[in-house]
Amino acid sequence: MAEPSKLPRDPAPAAPSPGGITARALAGRSAAYLGTLNPEQREAVETLDGPVLVLAGAGTGKTRVLTTRIAHILNLGRARPNEILAVTFTNKAAREMKERVGQMVGQAVEGMPWLGTFHSIGVKILRRHAEMVGLKSGFTILDTDDQIRLLKQLLEAEGIDDKRWPARVLANLIDGWKNRGLVPAQVPAGEGASFANGKGRKLYEAYQARLKTLNAADFGDLLLECIRLFRENPEILKQYQRWFKYILVDEYQDTNVAQYLWLRLLAQKADNEPPKNICCVGDDDQSIYGWRGAEVDNILRFEHDFPGAKVIRLERNYRSTAHILSAASHLIAHNEGRLGKTLRTEDVPGEKVQVTSCWDSEEEARGIGEEIEQLQRGKHNLDQIAILVRASFQMREFEDRFVTLGLPYRVIGGPRFYERAEIRDALAYLRVIAQPADDLAFERIVNVPKRGLGDATVQMLYDHARRQRIPLTVAALTLSATDEMKPKPRATLRALMEDFARWSKLKDTMPHTELAEMVLDESGYTDMWKANKSADAAGRLDNLKEFVRSMEQFENLAGFLEHISLVMDTDRRENEEAVNIMTLHSAKGLEFDTVFLPGWEEGLFPSQRTLDEQGRAGLEEERRLAHVGLTRARKRAKLYFATNRRIHGLWTTTVPSRFLDELPAESVEVNEAQGGFGMSGYGPSRFDEMNFGSNYATPGWQRAQRANRERSGGFDETGAPRSGRGGRGFGERRQIAYERDEDAGTYDSGERRDFSEDAPPARAPKRRTPLTIEGELVAKSTGTVSAFSVGDRVFHQKFGNGNVTAVDGNKLTIHFDKAGEKRVVDSFVERV
């Protein structure tokens, strides 16, 4: 393919004149593809001159319009395949577009090198002109890990503490600046000063310079450097402007500032030239990615950016029934920042949108599970059922319920709840407490969060455990009491084993939910995610809170872990029908016969975090997200809200989402709750259904009652509201004073105290001494009589030759010739 810089300077031949021989011959070509379009779609395909904005509502056939438009341009000979720039957001969308165009025009599609994602096309342009931006054509594209490693080097060179100012946070800052098209000199002073005491912009500049030295670019550079190339080299920009006769853009509402600037440069018209032929397809009502840099204003100001642009609205929906479309259109009409359109269908009205209230999230999951079972009995394909949640922590309740019912399910856009990394980590801590011989669990969290126990330390534990045929926890306990390791990792390992011993002792006396909170807090795991500034850190903390809440329905830790093993062991067959569970953001572009939308409550949906951070703009994006959720449904949309929900670790009496009252009454059917719960009228509480039998003195009954009283609030025996503990959320530091039994060498849990400003200070914990884990196991493993005796001459790989001076089980005290006296395990020495 010829490069724009090497194209001949001769002017391109003029387009066929209307009514001429060429035009009549081209018109005679078969254009059967136009016969499948409705009038608005056909107008969008045939309007080839000048700027065009196609406002394509959900399910109106935007992909068909885009691909048919490309085929029409090629069929009429208005441009060669390599003179069309067609931009998408994902490789999947690019492949689908190429396949559809190929079905209409055949092999001509293979000559379309400029059909792809923003970044793939940016790479092609940069490699052709790399020298103009300080790179060589073979430059490397860094992945995220390489980017973090490079930033860590820069932080170290500047003497900046990576723990206080993490490299990942700086990487997110730089990525945000690049998404906004900002080079270091353009970063606002206030933003540049927000990192490392004012060094953010300087570090960004040093990072860009280092990339040039390494002949590398990161993902953001693929567009940022293209923008700089075009701005600093107008002649190169003009070559591409002349070369691309038609520009087509998919999902224009999701473009960020850098993508917008890149397109604007390519679509600029020079003086005395006709307007550029640019066609953008999008839906301002489906702009839901503002949190990752998308600017809905890009599509709203299209007519301002391209004067004389023609706006074509695709409003005939081919997906959903009339009631669903009416509900979605009525809801989104409350947004002010939109160009406006109303979806319609010629299909039957169908079922009304159903709204159901529940007492709590457990009843919500139970009700949805029962509805799905009824649909399944009616031969409804499970693949055509979806549950769309606002936050990923909502998934756990449904996954547990479906495992109980035996309903197959799949999580789209991410792992299942108990397969998420943060949940696996939390489970690993609890598994080690319940079963110290669980080597796989111990290996997972021995250095999570990072404690300075590197690969060498772990390998030493492995070697010793393998030689002695003992668990890793026993090996850790043994080696932390000897001189085999360096002092720092030895002290860290000893402290960790003391923690596990203490937690293990408490598991039989403390409610397992409180124990889980204590473990996650005292291990530093919660603080690790609090310090993490990545976009998903807040969601991971929410998942951990939901994880602790999921333990409440089990009597003890052992029962909970057994349940988890069953959940994790659920067989997933690739070709088996299964209910789809995903977040609303992951559902964009998908469609299902039946869609369940749980959690329509203030604070959850719309998200309070979004409202706090973005105000009215955030509210409008949340409403667009609700619109997307409704329009995923073909035949049935079922909305749920709960009166009580655990949010951020606390039971809260929730208020129904404002979006519910924005739905049209004529298209909504309200399901009255069955039964009654005194004052609420939303049905019985799950606590009413608890049946502990006649023995009210059992530990399980007492623990459940205590948990209900202390954490759940609710109502007392007289029906009066109970205040509960309320003010304390998961993740807050709680301190427990431990009294040491000097004779036994163990600790007993003392009074629980809150170290708040109003609470009196508790007595400081006394210095702990090493404790044993599973004392019997340790005794069996380490209490054997050593084969060595006092006076034996031995050799140690690290300390050299020495003489045994004392023997304590399998531990030897040895006076080494050069290293002095050390205490080691006998398996590490051999006779001389």
Q: Which of 286, 321, 772, 782 is catalytic?
A: 286
Q: Is 63 one of the catalytic residues?
A: yes
588: left (phi over 0), alpha (psi -120 to 50) or beta: beta
Q: Which of 62, 64, 69, 78 is catalytic?
A: 62
Q: Is 251 one of the catalytic residues?
A: yes
- How many of the other CB atoms lie within 10 Å of CB of 405? 16
For every residue of 237-291, DSSP letters joined together read HHHHHHH-SEEEESSGGG--HHHHHHHHHHHPPPTTSPPP-EEEEE-GGG---GG
Q: Is 313 one of the catalytic residues?
A: no
Q: Residue 738 in contact with residue 749, Cβ under 8 Å?
A: yes
Q: Which of 40, 221, 250, 517 is catalytic?
A: 250
Q: How far apart are CA 670 and CA 357, in angstroms?
A: 9
Q: 251 is written with which tokens?
A: 């999902």
Q: How far apart are CA 260 and CA 249, in angstroms?
A: 11
Element holding 227 (H helix, E strand): helix 221-232
Maximum distance among all alpha carbons in the chain? 112
Q: Is 286 one of the catalytic residues?
A: yes
Q: How far apart are CA 775 and CA 641, in angstroms?
A: 50
Burial class of residue 378 in the structure, from the number of CB atoms within 10 Å of its CB (0-12 exposed, 13-18 middle, 19+ buried)? exposed
Q: Any idea what the Cα angle at residue 585 is, between residues 581 and 587, rounded to 5°?
A: 50
- How many of the other CB atoms lie within 10 Å of CB of 464? 21
Q: How far apart are CA 783 and CA 763, in angstroms?
A: 37
For every residue of 123-152, DSSP letters joined together read HHHHHHSGGGGT--TT-EE--HHHHHHHHH
Element holding 109 (H helix, E strand): none
Q: Is 632 one of the catalytic residues?
A: yes
Q: Which of 221, 251, 360, 499 is catalytic?
A: 251
CA distances from 565 to 419, 473, 508, 656 (A): 11, 21, 21, 35
Q: Which of 632, 634, 645, 646 is catalytic?
A: 632
Q: How far apart are CA 55 and CA 802, in angstroms?
A: 84
Q: 94 is written with which tokens?
A: 């690019």
Q: In 3D, which of 480, 490, 542, 548 has the Cα closest to residue 519?
A: 548
**What residues are annotated to the active site?**
62-63, 250-251, 286, 632
